[in-house]
Amino acid sequence: MKTLPGKGKISGLTLIEVLAVIAIIAILAAILLPAGVHGGKARIPWCMSNLRQVDIGFLIYESDNHGKFPMQFSEMNGGTLESIQGGHVFPHLQKLAGYYNTQNMRILICPSDVERHAATNFETLTDSNISYFLNADVSTNSPTHSILAGDRNLEAVNQPLSPGLFVLTTNIYMRWADNLHIRRGCMTFADGHAELVRSNLNLVILSQPLATNRLCIP
């Protein structure tokens, strides 16, 4: 696996070392966090660790492919641009299979998402094995603000989002539903960091570098 030049190093650590640390944290979280705390605070660090691992895969791919994510170029050239319209998340993740530990498919499942179960491999992956939405219009122009992915428990105008493609504009009132982290959600951004987003969800949306973002909801 390649390491990111310059920006892929954090505090002197190589990308491989960062991945190793994240994997260890995820394993410890799986062992130590209480299994019966549905949607509780104890599961949030685990969820954020999952999202960071997803994010790192996209960033390595982007580094290896001339600064583009798979959603940003056509299938003829090895991308997934045409898959955006279908609103599915799994085709984009399948393109990144070589950047993840295929023995740990649970990174695609929020620990509070009891409705979803991990796939056994990327070949059999479907949206039913994924807890996280994907922003097809993620931008590296403002990476600290541009959303890459996050928990799927989103509501628009007080209605839960259905699976498929959702066109998010800055004038739509958004909030988190109760079914995962109880009016909270985790998000990851184009610079590799993850956040717990609470009632400030609409401020995060307003800070997007693009006024319109297409979200693929699993």
Terminal Cα distance for the chain, rounded: 28
In this structure, is residue 187 part of a structural domain? yes
In this structure, is residue 97 part of a structural domain? yes
Q: What string of DSSP letters covers 59-114? A: HHHHHHTTT--GGGS-GGGT--GGGGGGT-SHHHHHTTGGGS-TT-GGGGS-TT-T
- Per-residue pLDDT of 130-175, as tens digits, reads 999 999 999 999 999 999 999 999 999 889 999 999 999 989 999 9
The number of folded domains in the chain is 1
In this structure, is residue 140 part of a structural domain? yes
The residue segments making up the domain with residue 25 are: 15-217
In this structure, is residue 2 part of a structural domain? no
In this structure, is residue 8 part of a structural domain? no
Say if residue 38's pLDDT is above 90.
no
Residue range 97-114: mean pLDDT, rounded = 91
In this structure, is residue 7 part of a structural domain? no
pTM to 2 decimals? Answer: 0.80
In angstroms, the CA 100 to CA 109 distance is: 14
